[in-house]
Chain A
Amino acid sequence: MKRLLIFLCLISLISSCREKSTLEQEVIAVHDEVMPKLGELNKDRKGLQSILKSTTDESIKTELLTAITALEKADDGMMDWMSDWKVPSEPTEQKAYLEKEMIRITKVKTDMLESMKNAKLLKEKHTK
Chain B
Amino acid sequence: MRLTAILTIAILSLINTSCKDNTSTALPKLGFKKVVDNEEVDHIVKDWSFLNSDSIRVTNKDLSDVVYVSDFFFRSCPTTCPKVAREMKRVYTEFESNPQVKFVSFTLDPKRDSPQKLKEYAANLQVRTDKWWFLHGDKDETYDLTGEYLQIGFEDEDAPGGFDHSGKLILTDKAGHIRSFSEGTDPDETPKLIRDINTLLKEYESKN
A interface residues with partner B (beta carbon < 8 Å):
28, 31-32, 35-40, 42-43, 46, 76, 79, 82-83, 85
Contact of B79 with A28 in the complex, beta carbons under 8 Å: yes
Contact of A39 with B109 in the complex, beta carbons under 8 Å: no
Given contacts A39-B143, A42-B139, A79-B76, list 19 more A-B pairs with CB under 8 A: A28-B78, A28-B79, A31-B79, A35-B79, A36-B162, A36-B164, A38-B163, A39-B146, A39-B161, A39-B163, A40-B160, A42-B140, A42-B143, A42-B162, A79-B74, A79-B109, A79-B111, A82-B77, A85-B78
When distances are taken between beta carbons in the complex, the residues of chain A under 8 Å from B161 are: 39
Contact (A83, B112) CB under 8 Å given A28-B79, A39-B143 = yes
Enumerate the 4 nearest inter-chain pairs by beta-carbon distance, A residue then B residue, closest first: A39-B162, A36-B164, A83-B76, A82-B76
Interface residues of B in 40-99 (CB under 8 A from A): 74, 76-79
Interface residues of B in 128-176 (CB under 8 A from A): 139-140, 143, 146, 160-164, 166
For B, the interface residue count at a CB cutoff of 8 angstroms equals 18
Q: How far is the CA of A40 from the CA of B162 in the complex (A)?
A: 7
When distances are taken between beta carbons in the complex, the residues of chain A under 8 Å from B143 are: 39, 42
Contact of B160 with A82 in the complex, beta carbons under 8 Å: no
Q: How far is the CA of A101 from the CA of B179 in the complex (A)?
A: 41
Closest approach, in angstroms, between the C-beta of A80 and any C-beta of chain B? 8
When distances are taken between beta carbons in the complex, the residues of chain A under 8 Å from B166 are: 39
Interface residues of B in 5-64 (CB under 8 A from A): none
Q: How far is the CA of A37 from the CA of B164 in the complex (A)?
A: 7
What residue of chain A has the Cβ atom nearest to residue B143's Cβ? A42
Q: How far is the CA of A79 from the CA of B76 in the complex (A)?
A: 8
